[in-house]
Amino acid sequence: MSKDNCGFFKQKKIWSEVKDELLGCYLVPYFTKILSMGNPILYVDCFAGKGKFDDGKPGSPLTALQSNETCQVTVP
Protein backbone atom coordinates (compact mmCIF):
# COMPACT_ATOMS: atom_id res chain seq x y z
CA MET A 1 0.00 0.00 0.00
CA SER A 2 1.48 3.37 -0.99
CA LYS A 3 1.68 6.34 1.34
CA ASP A 4 -0.26 9.51 0.53
CA ASN A 5 2.37 12.21 -0.05
CA CYS A 6 0.11 14.94 -1.45
CA GLY A 7 0.97 17.34 1.41
CA PHE A 8 4.69 16.62 1.48
CA PHE A 9 5.73 20.03 0.13
CA LYS A 10 3.38 22.14 2.25
CA GLN A 11 6.19 23.02 4.64
CA LYS A 12 9.80 22.06 5.17
CA LYS A 13 10.46 19.12 7.43
CA ILE A 14 13.40 19.14 9.84
CA TRP A 15 15.48 16.87 7.60
CA SER A 16 15.04 19.31 4.72
CA GLU A 17 16.14 22.19 6.95
CA VAL A 18 19.29 20.26 7.92
CA LYS A 19 20.03 19.20 4.33
CA ASP A 20 19.72 22.75 3.03
CA GLU A 21 21.86 24.15 5.85
CA LEU A 22 24.59 21.60 5.08
CA LEU A 23 24.37 22.30 1.35
CA GLY A 24 24.62 26.04 1.98
CA CYS A 25 27.80 25.56 4.02
CA TYR A 26 29.42 23.05 1.70
CA LEU A 27 28.54 24.10 -1.84
CA VAL A 28 30.02 27.61 -1.86
CA PRO A 29 33.61 26.49 -1.13
CA TYR A 30 33.18 23.38 -3.27
CA PHE A 31 31.84 25.27 -6.29
CA THR A 32 34.50 27.96 -5.83
CA LYS A 33 37.28 25.35 -5.93
CA ILE A 34 35.84 23.54 -8.96
CA LEU A 35 35.33 26.77 -10.89
CA SER A 36 38.79 28.10 -10.00
CA MET A 37 40.32 25.02 -11.64
CA GLY A 38 38.38 25.75 -14.83
CA ASN A 39 36.12 22.73 -14.50
CA PRO A 40 32.41 22.81 -15.27
CA ILE A 41 29.90 22.02 -12.56
CA LEU A 42 27.38 19.25 -12.97
CA TYR A 43 25.22 19.15 -9.85
CA VAL A 44 22.70 16.33 -9.41
CA ASP A 45 20.43 16.07 -6.38
CA CYS A 46 18.47 12.85 -6.62
CA PHE A 47 16.34 13.83 -3.63
CA ALA A 48 15.51 17.38 -4.68
CA GLY A 49 11.89 18.30 -4.65
CA LYS A 50 10.37 21.39 -6.08
CA GLY A 51 12.36 24.58 -5.79
CA LYS A 52 10.10 26.22 -3.24
CA PHE A 53 7.85 24.79 -0.55
CA ASP A 54 4.22 25.90 -0.33
CA ASP A 55 5.12 27.98 2.76
CA GLY A 56 7.59 29.97 0.63
CA LYS A 57 10.82 28.49 1.96
CA PRO A 58 13.43 27.61 -0.69
CA GLY A 59 14.23 23.95 -1.32
CA SER A 60 17.57 22.36 -2.12
CA PRO A 61 17.45 23.25 -5.86
CA LEU A 62 17.31 26.96 -5.01
CA THR A 63 19.94 26.54 -2.30
CA ALA A 64 22.31 25.00 -4.86
CA LEU A 65 21.62 27.74 -7.42
CA GLN A 66 22.15 30.45 -4.83
CA SER A 67 25.45 28.85 -3.79
CA ASN A 68 26.59 28.78 -7.41
CA GLU A 69 25.69 32.44 -7.90
CA THR A 70 27.54 33.38 -4.71
CA CYS A 71 30.83 31.88 -5.82
CA GLN A 72 31.10 32.75 -9.49
CA VAL A 73 34.83 32.87 -10.21
CA THR A 74 36.51 34.46 -13.19
CA VAL A 75 38.77 31.86 -14.74
CA PRO A 76 41.87 33.21 -16.54
Strand partners, 52: 58
Domain ranges within the chain, ordered by starting residue: 14-70
10-residue stretch averages of pLDDT, the chain, 76 residues long: 66 85 89 87 84 86 86 55
- pLDDT value at position 7? 67
Helices (H) and strands (E) in the chain, counts: 2, 0
Looking at residue 73, what is its pLDDT?
53
The CA–CA distances, whole Å, from 64 to 3, 4, 7, 61 equal 28, 28, 24, 5
* Contact (CB, 8 A) for 21 and 61: no
